[in-house]
Amino acid sequence: MVLNKQKLEAELWVEGKNTYLPFRLHIFESVASTNKTLWELLAQEPSSGCVIIAAEQTAGRGQWGRSWVSQKGGLYLSLAISPQLAINSGYQLTLATAWGIAEQLRKYGVDVEIKWPNDLVLDNRKLGGILTETKVRAGKITQAVIGVGINWKNPVPSTGINLYSWNNQGYSTKISCLEKLAAVVLMGIDSAIQCLEQEGVNILLSRYIKLLSNMGDTVEVDQDFSGTVVGVTSTGNLHLRKSNSVSDAVQESSFYLQPGTISLGYRKSSD
Ligand code: BTN
């Protein structure tokens, strides 16, 4: 199922501005990883706005060195951007992308939430994920590849969900084809990067947290240590608070978990 480039360009046409959103699209039948192909392209001509989309990936990359199973029917997309970010702010690109895509999908009737740090969830199941890779020059992140995988028609495990079957369960979304989904994802990333650059990380985080399904959950870090989720920091750490009763007083303490140190799992679904 190769995506139709002209159809996608039509979806990205901005009425009134008489222009496409600023993306250069490269569509492939099969690649090892769209992130890898994009880095290879950027080595020849570094430029922001290049997009690689593939119908399947044979060695899709997931977070924390995992692989991302990428059978035909899914959306596998990578976008190049040229941020000027401090090295310790790189994770903001992932948080921003998760928020931007979730927010945009919600505008199209898909009730997506975010599971910390980078999962897009629908009906408590994984709809998609984000893998951001960065290059550093003179102490700054100057180039980034934002990779997004979204389950459209591809087979998924029991903890996953694909949007096409959700659409067919009677939910009324305005996402009718893979090209529309790709356009919504690209528009979501574009608005997220604009939010980060123009409004700053604190505004971005306040929006991200509104869509975070884990807020208020109790997280068990180990057998005798748990806390309540109260937020996410600008480096992507999960902020937990713990209440201790000492004599008659209640003492509150905060602790933080880095992305990748704990998996929050999925809530039990009703079926
Ligand atoms: C995760 O582990 O949740 C993130 C998965 C990211 C997968 C996407 S698919 C397109 C891009 N190319 C890759 O090799 N990985 C990302």
For 15-73, how does the pLDDT look when each residue is reduced to its tens digit (9 = 90+)? 656 566 788 999 999 999 999 999 999 999 878 899 999 999 999 999 999 999 999 99
Residues in Cβ contact with 31 at an 8 Å cutoff, skipping those fewer than 6 apart:
37, 52, 54, 57, 58
Does 268 score more than 70 pLDDT?
no
Q: Report the distance separating Cα 181 and Cα 22, nearest Å.
A: 17
Contact criterion met (CB below 8 Å) for 153 and 167? no
Mutate to test the pocket of ligand 1, among 53, 69, 148 (most ligand atoms within 8 A of CB): 148
Residues with a CB atom less than 6 Å from ligand 1:
33-35, 57, 60-63, 66, 68, 76-78, 118-119, 129-131, 147-149
Q: Report the distance separating Cα 120 and Cα 112, nearest Å.
A: 6
Residue 53 has what pLDDT? Answer: 98
- The CATH number that domain 5-210 falls under is 3.30.930.10
Phi, psi of 76 (to 5 degrees): -125, 110
Global pTM value: 0.93
Residue nearest to atom 9 of ligand 1 (CA): 149
Sorting pLDDT into bands at 50, 70 and 90, what band is 171? confident
For 59-81, how does the pLDDT look when each residue is reduced to its tens digit (9 = 90+)? 999 999 999 999 999 999 999 99
Residue 245 has what pLDDT? Answer: 63
- Looking at residue 197, what DSSP letter applies? I
Q: Report the distance separating Cα 54 and Cα 29, nearest Å.
A: 6
Atom of ligand 1 nearest to the CA of 59: 14
Q: Report the distance separating Cα 77 and Cα 27, nearest Å.
A: 9
Q: Report the distance separating Cα 73 and Cα 64, nearest Å.
A: 24
**Mean pLDDT for the chain overall:** 91
Q: Any idea which residue has 């159809």 for tokens?
A: 7
